[in-house]
Amino acid sequence: MEFSFIGKPAVRLDGKEKVTAAARYVDDLDFGANLLYAAVVESPHAYATIKSIDTSKAEKAPGVVKVITGKDFPYKFGMYMQDRYIFAQEKVRFVGEQVAAVIACDAISAERAAKLVKVNYDVLKPVLKVEEALTIEGCNHSTSEPILIHPELKNYEHVPWFFPRPESNIAHIRKIRTGDMDKGWAEADHIFTDTYTVPRYAHCAIEVHAAVGLYDFSGRLTLWTASQSPHTQRHLFAEALAPLGVAHKDVRVITPFVGGGFGGKAGVSMEILAAALATTVRGNPVKVLWNRAQEFYNTYQRQGVLAQIKVGVKNDGTIIALEQNLYWDAGAYVEYGANVVNAAGLSASGPYRIPNLKIDSYCVYTNLPPGGPYRGFGYSEFLFGLESHFAEIAKKLKIDQIEFRRKNCIIEGDRLAYGGKMNPNGLQEAIERVASEIKWGEEEKTTTKAHAKNIRTGKGISLFWKAPAMPPNASSSAFIKFNEDGSINILVSAMEIGQGFLTVMAQIAAEILSIPIEKIRVETPDTDRNPYEWQTVASHITWGTGSAVLKAAEDMREQIFCLIERALGKERKDLYLKAEGVRSHSDETFHLLYKDFVISGIPMEDGTFRGGPILGRGSFMPEYTSAKSNPETGQGGKPNVHYTVGAAGIVIEVDTDTGKVTIPKVVMAVDAGRVLNPDLVKGQITGGVLQGLATALYEDMRFDDKGRLLNPSFTDYKIPTTLDIPQEIVPVMLEVPGHDGPFGARGIGEHTMIPIAPMLANAIEDALGIRIKSLPLTAEKIALHFQLHSHKLIANDNHSSL
Amino acid sequence: MAILSDYHYYAPSTLGEVLDLLSSYKSPAVLSGGSDLIVNLKSGRVEHDAIIDIKQLQKSELALLKKLECKGETLFIGSLVTFSEIINSKIVQKRAPLLVEMAKTVASVGVRNRASMVGNICSAVPCMDSAPVLLVYDALVHTKSIDDERTLAIQKFFISPRKTLLRKKDLVMGISLALPKGKLGSRFVKLMRYRGEDLAQANLAILALSANHEYRVAFGSLSGTPLRATAIEKVLRGEATLTEELLTKVKNILPTLISPITDIRASKEYRLHMAKVMLERGLLDAALRREGSGSHLGENLI
């Protein structure tokens, strides 16, 4: 296919706004002199019963307008399960949970008064680990019955594809059963079992969460939020505040530019406070602005996981059976996080052909902050264990790592874990390209001069896959408007969170309508004006919203052709769009420019006009997905639209004394279906590699034995700087088009970070002969592991020489 | 996060006023770069009844606090001299490159443009980077108060974490370093969790002097206060070659000198292990630098 705009670089639509600081974020907006500020009173305990709240002192403090507690808002809300409260009711379930809020004339008065609210607690013993929350075979745990965090679980409303276990801390189990496990184990020549752990992580968007709510005297509730999900927020605000008489049409969410999301700004978290508080001070906007510490402990966190993996293989390396128990530390409220657990359970085989599967993915309540969506949506977490384990197996069987993956990787038409067939994909090509780029099998020379005797080199690889995790009917829509000069405005409600989607939407419309990118404007949404979008998550925007924009552009084309046929008598079948206008195959002289008719219409000889402003509309919903399945086997539905796949490889140098890793090269091959904008795909690859390396090398959330987060700041929660990036990142973009999506494109945004941690762990094993089974792989952990390992080797040597 | 505590803010134009204010308030704080002070005020870790900004003094007195000069063998660094000014000073680059090597590891460029080295030692957090360097130079801290002037030896300056010999009424005017004569090699080594800006998990400064083959060694972040490893220096004194045996010997002494702790930045075990690695690599490199070879300034050693 020949394209004019697709697959080509394009100047970012939001580039000028961002470099000139014209781009505005929630906290930059001016709300006038009546703006009020809210500060929250936070729970100091991980688990406690609230005995009483005394707000009297705070109410009398200077500048205070109102003090609000749970009594004022006894409502629940939630994305997939309604287990969350606007303010704590009766109990607090994590350190930092909002118990009350003070609204004041300025931020400092609000903060000061919040310290005057006296809350009396009966402190309860918290549950801080999945091993304490439930009985897990093979794990040490106390003999006493686990403490229940949500005794009311049986009454919670949830989506039909969740299966909670009342009277336990299990909010959901996703089970997958295929094949015959007994037969699988019997046929296996070897069985390998191990346990891997992944801690919690923070998104670390540079912009913190911010929300401003205004409830005017006409009953209109407007929210300005830093969000990935304006329409979903509108829906959840309307649902939660329905008892106050708020309806969807009355709620308006305006979302300006967002300074990074990574999943953390999906759904509704702290924004519910701005919505609720606004209703108590009608006519005054109220701002809730998180500080960096709150950003760490009272938004969503990436969930930790404990993965027990058992794999049966044949002598030739063929994987015959996989059993995997994933225990997710989902935190105090799982309204969003439970779907991470679900998505991971559905796909926990990884991109491998495994005939016999038994997966149990447990969503476990703990008294830590709520888990939730984070780039990768559970896939990074389970893949760390799975790809580490596969590398160990290949090593033990003395099969080359690449060969092991060639042999077992999933191919088009293979049966998926939940039934259905694997979509066309470029996984095999990705493996070959990565192997060749990192010169797999060839010895690497060290580039580090200093202390060369302590430097060991290693290489590691990992495959990856991910499907968008969405409700089966998640949908997108688009409007396109023509302007007098033939330029267009595209109205969608996806969010620009740095990924560059505005530009991609423009490229799609440009391709259909033959309008240069410079004449297209796409902006951030206002739910009153812009059409529906589910959320900017799941790497589905290019595919889903892109499909809606494509349809809207085609709709406009259709309207144009109809009008010209009707007004000018040109045959429709001869018409085509070119260079900002309409042309005809049968009449080369015909060239009607958009600017001459798209608003004002086509003049007729009698002085009348035909047409009028041309508006395109497009809706997209995958009509082939279903979340209905057998709860015991996971069979029967088609929960995923498709998988995006790829492979990644890394070359590292490790200093055996210090444990420090340097990275000469990373290669990332991803099958984008169709590369709509190569610069942006490259950007996603670079960003994904860095975010992945950060989670693999430096980051983790540390809690003390009271459930308090020990590192809620960048002083002790480290994300890489420019000094920490690999020397070379090689992007490999593959194109095996999908059956839908604009020009066959699939999402690649989250995917590029998924393989990083296991790939690095595999390279460290290759370099040092040590297998580290818990993240992160800090220099400290590597050095101490290696010291222990080499001492053992020395001890063994001494022993054998005796 | 906003500063919730109340305080009086002063920006006096004379040193006399500064000293008056320091003596008349109960818990005053001097503001130079503010990179520690403001963070501490915001977090509520400290409260002060007065903040005295010393950056708006009249020209002649400001010049005194911003002085960075070498007279003979003495390098004077005024209390308002920032880390960036140290890095960019031709004099320091030439006469005391160890200071530059250290300063380049402090925080990030933005912070270094504001933060002063004197402020660093006044805050006296155990992981400060300046202290080990000042220790190997036997630096002197010059203070002034409404009643007296004092010169304090850096060796005695640090009492415990965040505590120094400074009294509430004292203003530090500057630090002076006695620059050793003859051929000199030096090395600053800082253990960080990554290459970006970080607080030291451990740090180390070494001077390798040609006279008597003397070495000076000081550690930071490995005990409550930074420490000069005199026991190690004693073993090395007069040794022309750093043999493997000698290095093993000093590495074995090291655990008796330091008392590393386990905290969020590192475990005791890793700190101890790395202190030995840093000591060995640092000594070897400092010795090479003394002879005109060795690593480039600021090159990664660990």
The enclosing domain of B283 has a CATH number of 3.30.390.50
Query: Are B170 and B193 found together in one domain?
Result: no
Region A71-94 average pLDDT: 97
Is B243 inside any structural domain?
Answer: yes
- Annotated catalytic residues of A are 750
Give the CA distances from residue A659 to residues B191, B277, B297, in Å, rounded to whole numbers and listed in that order: 11, 11, 22
Supply the mean pLDDT for chain A.
96
pLDDT in the model for residue A794: 64
Q: How far away is chain A from the Cα of B159, in angstroms, using its nearest Cα? A: 25
Tell which residue, A360, A380, A365, A351, has the closest CA to residue A308: A360
Evaluate if residue A450 carries a pLDDT over 90: no
Tell which residue, A455, A489, A488, A492, has the closest CA to residue A652: A455
Which residues of A are less than 8 Å from B273 in CB distance? 783-784, 787
Which residues of B are less than 8 Å from A787 in CB distance? 273
- What whole-number distance in Å separates Cα of residue B278 and Cα of residue B95? 24
- What whole-number distance in Å separates Cα of residue B298 and Cα of residue B287? 16
Query: Are B87 and B173 found together in one domain?
Result: yes
- Tell me the pTM: 0.96
Query: Are B129 and B226 found together in one domain?
Result: no
pLDDT in tens, A166-180: 999 999 999 999 999
Which residues of A are less than 8 Å from B194 in CB distance? 697-698, 718, 720-721, 723-724
Query: Are B173 and B74 found together in one domain?
Result: yes
The edge-to-edge listing of strands for the beta sheet with A118-123 is A91-92, A48-54, A118-123
Which residues of B are less than 8 Å from A780 in CB distance? 266-267, 270
CB-based contact (8 Å) between B270 and chain A? yes
Is B299 inside any structural domain?
Answer: no
Query: Are B164 and B195 found together in one domain?
Result: no
How many structural domains are present in chain B? 3
Evaluate if residue A491 carries a pLDDT over 70: yes
Q: Do A784 and B302 touch (CB under 8 A)?
A: no
- What whole-number distance in Å separates Cα of residue A340 and Cα of residue A363? 9
Report residue A238 as tokens.
């309307």
pLDDT in tens, B100-130: 999 999 999 999 999 999 999 999 999 999 9
Q: Where are the domains of chain A?
A: 31-125+209-288, 304-470+628-790, 475-620
- Which residue on chain B is closest to A699 by alpha carbon? B193
Is B258 inside any structural domain?
Answer: yes
pLDDT in the model for residue A802: 37
Give the CA distances from residue A693 to residues A319, A460, A589, A723, A775, in Å, rounded to whole numbers and listed in that order: 28, 13, 58, 13, 11
Q: A304-470+628-790 sits in which CATH class? A: alpha beta
- What whole-number distance in Å separates Cα of residue A791 and Cα of residue A796? 8
Report residue A478 as tokens.
């688009």
Tell which residue, A488, A515, A484, A487, has the closest CA to residue A599: A484
The answer to whether the CB of B119 falls within 8 A of the CB of B103 is no
Q: Do B196 and A711 touch (CB under 8 A)?
A: no
Mutant choice from A208, A718, A760, A789 vs B, greatest count of B C-beta within 10 A: A718
CB-based contact (8 Å) between B244 and chain A? no
- Which residue on chain A is closest to B294 by alpha carbon? A450
The shortest CB-CB distance from B2 to any of A107, A778, A783 is to: A107
- What whole-number distance in Å separates Cα of residue A477 and Cα of residue A456? 53
From B126, B149, B178, give the residue that closes a domain: B178
Evaluate if residue A552 carries a pLDDT over 90: yes
CATH number for A31-125+209-288: choose from 3.40.50.2300, 3.30.160.340, 3.20.20.70, 3.90.1170.50. 3.90.1170.50
Supply the mean pLDDT for chain B.
97
pLDDT band, very low/low/confident/very high, at B1 (cuts 50, 70, 90): confident
The shortest CB-CB distance from A715 to any of B199, B267, B301 is to: B199
What are the contacts of B111-114 at 24+ separation with CB within 8 A? Answer: B111/B33, B111/B35, B111/B83, B111/B197, B112/B82, B112/B83, B112/B84, B112/B87, B113/B82, B113/B83, B113/B84, B114/B33, B114/B34, B114/B35, B114/B82
CB-based contact (8 Å) between A720 and chain B? yes
pLDDT band, very low/low/confident/very high, at B212 (cuts 50, 70, 90): confident
Q: Do A783 and B196 touch (CB under 8 A)?
A: no
Give the CA distances from residue A380 to residues A200, A374, A694, in Å, rounded to whole numbers and listed in that order: 12, 10, 13
Q: Do B270 and A783 touch (CB under 8 A)?
A: yes
Torsion of CA A687, A692, A695, A696, to 10 degrees: -140
Query: Are B36 and B145 found together in one domain?
Result: no
pLDDT in tens, B22-80: 999 999 999 999 999 999 999 999 999 999 999 999 999 999 999 999 999 999 999 99
From B19, B34, B53, give the residue that closes a domain: B53
Q: Rounded to the nearest 5°, which phi and psi values hold at B173?
A: -85, -35
Query: Are B42 and B74 found together in one domain?
Result: no
Continuous segment of H or E residues that includes residue B93: helix B90-95
Is B301 inside any structural domain?
Answer: no
Is B33 inside any structural domain?
Answer: yes
CB-based contact (8 Å) between A791 and chain B? no
- What whole-number distance in Å separates Cα of residue A641 and Cα of residue A114? 47
Evaluate if residue A447 carries a pLDDT over 80: no
CB-based contact (8 Å) between A778 and chain B? yes
- What whole-number distance in Å separates Cα of residue A670 and Cα of residue A748? 7
Is B188 inside any structural domain?
Answer: yes
CB-based contact (8 Å) between A293 and chain B? yes
pLDDT in the model for residue A448: 62
Q: Do B4 and A783 touch (CB under 8 A)?
A: no
The answer to whether the CB of B130 falls within 8 A of the CB of B159 is no
Evaluate if residue A143 carries a pLDDT over 70: no
Q: How big is the A-B interface in CB pairs under 8 Å? A: 63
Say how many CA atoms lie within 13 Å of A407 toward its Cβ: 16
The edge-to-edge listing of strands for the beta sheet with B184-191 is B184-191, B202-209, B215-220, B227-228
The shortest CB-CB distance from B264 to any of A698, A716, A722 is to: A716
Evaluate if residue A34 carries a pLDDT over 80: yes
Region A444-462 average pLDDT: 82
Q: Do A723 and B2 touch (CB under 8 A)?
A: no
Q: What angle do CA A292, A296, A297 make, to 5 degrees?
A: 120
Which residues of B are less than 8 Å from A710 in CB distance? 264
Q: Do A293 and B1 touch (CB under 8 A)?
A: yes
CB-based contact (8 Å) between B65 and chain A? no
Task: Say if domain A475-620 classifies as CATH 3.10.129.10.
Answer: no
Q: How far away is chain B from the Cα of A708, in angstroms, using its nearest Cα? A: 13
Is B15 inside any structural domain?
Answer: yes
Q: How far away is chain B from the Cα of A204, in angstroms, using its nearest Cα? A: 16
Q: Do A724 and B195 touch (CB under 8 A)?
A: yes
The shortest CB-CB distance from A660 to any of B264, B281, B302 is to: B302
Question: What is the span of the domain harbouring residue B105?
Answer: 59-178
ipTM: 0.96
Please state whether the peptide bond connecting residue A199 to the residue before it is cis, i.e. omega within 30 degrees of 0.
no
Region A271-287 average pLDDT: 98
Q: How far away is chain A from the Cα of B247, in angstroms, using its nearest Cα? A: 15
The shortest CB-CB distance from A658 to any of B196, B198, B277 is to: B277
Q: Which of A316-325, A362-371, A671-680, A782-791 is least confident?
A: A782-791
Evaluate if residue A795 carries a pLDDT over 80: no
Region B255-272 average pLDDT: 97
- What whole-number distance in Å separates Cα of residue A425 and Cα of residue A307? 28
- What whole-number distance in Å separates Cα of residue B183 and Cα of residue B195? 31
pLDDT band, very low/low/confident/very high, at B247 (cuts 50, 70, 90): very high
Q: Which of A:79-138 have CB within 8 Å of B?
A: 107-108, 111-112, 115
CB-based contact (8 Å) between B251 and chain A? no
pLDDT in the model for residue A116: 98
Mutant choice from A106, A780, A790 vs B, greatest count of B C-beta within 10 A: A780
Which residues of A are less than 8 Å from B265 in CB distance? 716
Query: Are B154 and B261 found together in one domain?
Result: no
Q: How far away is chain A from the Cα of B181, in angstroms, using its nearest Cα? A: 29
Residue A600 neighbours by CB distance under 10 Å? 13
pLDDT in the model for residue B2: 87
DSSP B38: H
Q: Do B267 and A784 touch (CB under 8 A)?
A: yes
pLDDT in the model for residue A141: 61
- Which residue on chain A is closest to B3 by alpha carbon? A108
CB-based contact (8 Å) between A496 and chain B? no
SS3 assignment, position A754 = coil
Q: Rounded to the nearest 5°, which phi and psi values hold at B101?
A: -60, -40
DSSP A532: P
Q: Which of B:1-20 have CB within 8 Å of A?
A: 1-4
pLDDT in the model for residue A796: 61
Task: Name the percent of chain A in helix, strand, coil, to the closest 5.
Answer: 30, 25, 45
Q: How far away is chain A from the Cα of B190, in angstroms, using its nearest Cα? A: 12
Region A333-351 average pLDDT: 98
Q: How far away is chain B from the Cα of A465, in angstroms, using its nearest Cα? A: 29
Region A532-558 average pLDDT: 98
Q: How far away is chain A from the Cα of B147, in angstroms, using its nearest Cα? A: 38
